[in-house]
Chain A
């Protein structure tokens, strides 16, 4: 499973998200490849799940992936709940 985290630059917000998600996956014993991207570079790439800040929704309308939008990017509980639910739905 490939999980892409997105932000405008590819190394700030998206990197924070990736690190949190890596922790969550490790704790749950789930194997997935996570990588941070900036919005522009990501277009055309494939991922099963895309995790992004909620205010990026309008930029992600036609993406062929399961889109997860996070409101509070430092709230591990919100990230965990949404990511694990998406993984369950896909598997």
Chain B
């Protein structure tokens, strides 16, 4: 599975006006629920991971990678992206505030790995981060992400 297969086109939303960490989790998870790739309980599971283990999921400055376990209601491996109009503090020691939130669902521990590696590589590129941060509407964000990926291949 590559990143294009993992990333759900209808689950990419730009510049949402949200107020809290929980709202971000709810919205990003809700996109996967709407896409039919996770059950609603997955959202609560992601919230609980954050509560139990702390905000380590803020993997890089401004970037959160939210996820829970395959058994928490994953139907299909998938990835959602929410970009935020106003950055929100998640409580991380160095990487706050967050303006890019990914919600990852994996239906086993292996199938999503290639896609995740691809994503990690892109997230280390400033041009890709610019694409994520500069697009102000969801359609242009989607198109820009997929064309960035296509141009790389």
Contact = CB atoms under 8 A, between A and B. Distances in A.
Interface of A: 7-13, 15-16, 19-20, 39, 52-56, 58-59, 71-76
B59 A73 contact: yes
B101 interface: no
A25 B59 CA distance: 21
B56 A75 contact: no
A12 B124 CA distance: 16
A11 B56 contact: no
Given A19-B117, A71-B95, A55 B54 contact: yes
Given A8-B49, A8-B53, A15 B95 contact: no
Interface in B44-70: 49, 52-61, 63, 65, 67-69
Contact of A75 (B53, B54, B55, B60): B60
A69 to B, nearest CB: 10
Contacts of B93: 54-55
B60 A73 contact: yes
B53 A59 contact: yes
Interface of B: 49, 52-61, 63, 65, 67-69, 92-95, 104, 106, 109-110, 112-113, 116-117, 120, 123-124
Contact of B120 (A11, A19, A53): A19
A72 B60 contact: yes
Contact of B123 (A9, A11, A12, A74): A74
